[in-house]
Structure 1
Amino acid sequence: MMTKGRFHTALHKGALALLSALLLAAGSTPSRAAPPASGGFSLCFVGDVSFAGRRLPASPAAAAGQDNPLAAFAALFAAADLAVANAEGLMTSERPPAYGESRLDIGAAPRWAGVFAAAHVDVVGLANNHSWDGGAAGVLENRGNLAATGVALIGAGATAEEAEAPYVIERDGRCVAVLPATLKSNRRPEGGAAVAYYAGEAGLDRLTGRVRALRERGCFVAVSLHLGREGVTAAPRSVVAAARRLVDAGAGLVVGHHPHVLQGVEWRGDAAIAYSLGNFVFTNRTPLKRQTGVLAVRLSGDDPPRLLEVALVPAIIRVPGFAPTPATPREAGAIAEALTTASRPFKTRVALDPDGRIRFTSTATRD
């Protein structure tokens, strides 16, 4: 396993072009036909994280310790080559006036920004329907507060180039790219900042083009995608169609968030779609919205890497406290049963294994 932090790079356009040239050059040598490398990649993804309505930690140091709601999974994140979370809601000094009395106020104080890095989360995604809640000023302050903690960021920035840039890890000429995208926004985008927001059919066309370009450069592409309908366990047909388009364009993995509940997993050829990871830290009391987990993904050491395994480490958001903790065997069984039902339309086999992980395999013939 590579040392975390040493090989992780958020690539802007120029750096990505350089990586592309290196990968293409490597492709012309006999080494490309060599046996698969022994070292692969391990990735972790979690769904929506919001610190709204929580008791503030006494200090930033406290947020890194017992008061860190991600603490129960910090060791799992640390062991992975890459751990990715979706931060929903702004962490800014002032409450955006646009909220008014709205129930959509899921913002939190800047102090919470340090929670991710302290729990060994490598990348925080900012592309979601709440990105523009505070306007351009909110986008920039939220990003700045998180950047100050040392965590890498995708999905929002000062420019479209910065906001839409993938996060790439590279080792021995093999690369894995995490591409941020939201197809949802509560407010109309404005000037002065940018979010990886792909609106309508034209936006989806543009997103598939970005996936295709990364794949052509030799990367395994994982799309962190904010879309869907809240509170429903069956992915709508429009969502299924959009995710499949991304896979057909070259994505090896699509990880969905926004519905606030777990949804099914589909294998499409050698790629997988996790339609929704639900909440991970959220002040929801509904039992269904407190079922969660960490999506643990294993890739091969091939060039380009191949998807070998998709599993969920099941968890429950506990009340009070609203922090995820490992599921008990009974709770894990209930989560596995729910995912079996949600994944059945996709011909996916769901099994709760003795190690406590819920694994997803295809019962259909792979193309």
Structure 2
Amino acid sequence: MSKLITIDLCGDVMLGRGIDQVLPYPSNPQLQEAYATSARDYVALAARVNGPIPAPVELSYPWGFALKEWRHAPPSARLINLETSITRSDTYVPKGINYRMSPENAACLVSAGIDCCALANNHVLDWGISGLLETLHVLRRLGVKTAGAGRNAMEASAPAIIDVAGRGRVLVFSFAHGTSGTPRSWAATAERPGVNLLPDLSEGTAARIAEHIVSSSQEGDIVIASIHWGPNWGYEIPNERRSFAHALIELAGATIVHGHSSHHPLAIEIHRNRLILYGCGDFLNDYEGISGFEEYRGDLTLMYRASIDPDEETLAGLRLVPLQIRNFRLHRASDQDTKWLRDVLARESDRFRTRITCDSDNTLMVFHDAP
């Protein structure tokens, strides 16, 4: 067997609003929200719950324990869903919540060694087309690859290509679906910038996407389909979502379906030795102190480390690192919180014959029990 390719997959990363304010080069804090008029209000909320944040912090500050993990065992590639526009634009889209971070603060992505940002989501166009174009420009300048948004439909649907020295390529295709709150008007067209928006989750759409993925890839590629879908809260996985994920594996040869949008982790399925993460949960946000939905423990999150056999293009192992968001920073989750995450994931994944166990180092290991 060839040396395994390890891919660290993370859910939604929201570096705007409160987090942007504590970094060295904050944007204009003014907000157009019903409950807050300044991004600094979210900094005050977090401080009220977990103590003050000594701003300005270093660019690497939000990643916290994740950096320690990455330094200890660097993966072959790191993928996040970036739910923040990188722009100084003040031309916001009236939609209730608008995330942005300053172009200068975007260097925090480099400090974490992020290889690729999936951009097909419901916040990348929060500051209009000018905000999207600036986001693409900044990420390109920083050397961070992108997928799922572009100057036209062809660019938005093109994969990000990550070369893994001596072992092959990882291709990332990024999609958004309307169930995540992504407006239909944000879809990229031949003439208009936007996101790679799925019209539906039908068999026909799956077949069309599969044809595009197959024509864009070559033998030996590790294919990741990163999809922003579903609501923020709740554990339900509709049959059409599951059928669509299966089709991407069976028709397009996807090795990983990287789902996100839910603010908390969802069930895990291993189908034909390929990985389906229905919802990774938020990886970084500024929600501390916001009440509601406490039963889902949105402060707890996971880093998903998938080990891939490049010869078979299949999953060889999956390790989860439990983390907690506190003071706008990732901390190692406590033993008690790790057990809580294990129990919830085990409960939700049991229907797919997926077993979750706790390893000796208090990480979670994922196994598939064959029927």
TM-score bracket, shorter-length normalisation: 0.7 to 0.9
Matches within 5 A, 1:155-304: 155-168=148-161, 169-172=163-166, 174-184=168-178, 185-189=182-186, 191-200=191-200, 201=202, 203-213=205-215, 217-249=219-251, 250-285=253-288, 287=294, 288-302=297-311, 304=312
Aligned length: 323
CA drift at 1:265: 0.2
CA drift at 1:327: 0.8
Kindly, what percent of the aligned residue pairs are identical? 24
2:23 to 57, 74, 77: 57
Within 1, Cα distance between the matches of 2:76 and 2:56? 23
Q: Mark the CA change 1:276 to 1:46 in structure 2 (over 3 Å): closer, same or farther.
A: same
Matches within 5 A, 1:1-367: 36-37=1-2, 39-51=3-15, 52-54=17-19, 55-59=21-25, 65=58, 68-77=61-70, 79-99=74-94, 102=96, 104-168=97-161, 169-172=163-166, 174-184=168-178, 185-189=182-186, 191-200=191-200, 201=202, 203-213=205-215, 217-249=219-251, 250-285=253-288, 287=294, 288-302=297-311, 304-318=312-326, 321-365=327-371
Within 2, Cα distance between the matches of 1:188 and 1:272? 31
- Structure 1 counterpart of 2:33: none
CA drift at 1:108: 2.7
Provide structure 1 residue ranges, at least 5 long, that are not aligned to the other structure. Answer: 1-35
Within 2, Cα distance between the matches of 1:352 and 1:316? 17
Q: Look up the SS of the partner of 1:148 in the other structure.
A: helix
Moved over 4 A (4+): 170-173
TM-score, normalized by length of structure 1?
Answer: 0.80
User: Is the CA contact (8 Å cut-off) linking 1:88 and 1:128 kept in structure 2?
Assistant: yes
Q: Look up the SS of the partner of 2:360 in the other structure.
A: coil
Q: Mark the CA change 1:149 to 1:133 in structure 2 (over 3 Å): closer, same or farther.
A: same
Report the AA paired with residue 157 of structure 2.
E
Within 1, Cα distance between the matches of 2:69 and 2:172? 19
CA drift at 1:364: 2.4
Q: Mark the CA change 1:177 to 1:67 in structure 2 (over 3 Å): closer, same or farther.
A: closer
- Structure 2 counterpart of 1:6: none
User: Is the CA contact (8 Å cut-off) linking 2:184 and 2:197 kept in structure 1?
Assistant: no
CA drift at 1:313: 0.7
Within 1, Cα distance between the matches of 2:306 and 2:120? 21
User: Is the CA contact (8 Å cut-off) linking 2:255 and 2:313 kept in structure 1?
Assistant: no
Report the AA paired with residue 323 of structure 2.
A
Instruction: Please provide the CA RMSD for this pair.
Output: 2.4
Q: Look up the SS of the partner of 2:223 in the other structure.
A: strand
Q: Look up the SS of the partner of 2:99 in the other structure.
A: coil
TM-score, normalized by length of structure 2?
Answer: 0.80
User: Is the CA contact (8 Å cut-off) linking 2:269 and 2:354 kept in structure 1?
Assistant: yes
Q: Give a deviation string over 1:257-281, Cα, whole Å, max 9, x none.
A: 0111110100112111011110011
CA drift at 1:88: 0.3
Deviates more, 1:114-123 or 1:65-74: 65-74
User: Is the CA contact (8 Å cut-off) linking 1:198 and 1:206 kept in structure 2?
Assistant: no
User: Is the CA contact (8 Å cut-off) linking 2:259 and 2:280 kept in structure 1?
Assistant: yes
Within 2, Cα distance between the matches of 1:271 and 1:71? 30
- Structure 1 counterpart of 2:41: none
CA drift at 1:356: 2.0
Q: Look up the SS of the partner of 1:111 in the other structure.
A: coil
Q: Give a deviation string over 1:157-201, Cα, whole Å, max 9, x none.
A: 223332222223254473332221112323503643232222224
Deviates more, 1:292-301 or 1:203-212: 203-212
User: Is the CA contact (8 Å cut-off) linking 2:338 and 2:362 kept in structure 1?
Assistant: yes
Within 1, Cα distance between the matches of 2:120 and 2:223? 17
User: Is the CA contact (8 Å cut-off) linking 2:148 and 2:158 kept in structure 1?
Assistant: yes
Within 1, Cα distance between the matches of 2:170 and 2:60? 32
- Structure 1 counterpart of 2:38: none
Q: Mark the CA change 1:176 to 1:91 in structure 2 (over 3 Å): closer, same or farther.
A: closer
User: Is the CA contact (8 Å cut-off) linking 1:198 and 1:207 kept in structure 2?
Assistant: no
Q: Mark the CA change 1:241 to 1:87 in structure 2 (over 3 Å): closer, same or farther.
A: same
CA drift at 1:67: 5.7
- Structure 2 counterpart of 1:25: none
Report the AA paired with residue 94 of structure 2.
Y
Within 1, Cα distance between the matches of 2:239 and 2:59? 42
Q: Look up the SS of the partner of 1:217 in the other structure.
A: coil
Provide structure 2 residue ranges, at least 5 long, that are not aligned to the other structure. Answer: 27-54
User: Is the CA contact (8 Å cut-off) linking 1:226 and 1:258 kept in structure 2?
Assistant: yes
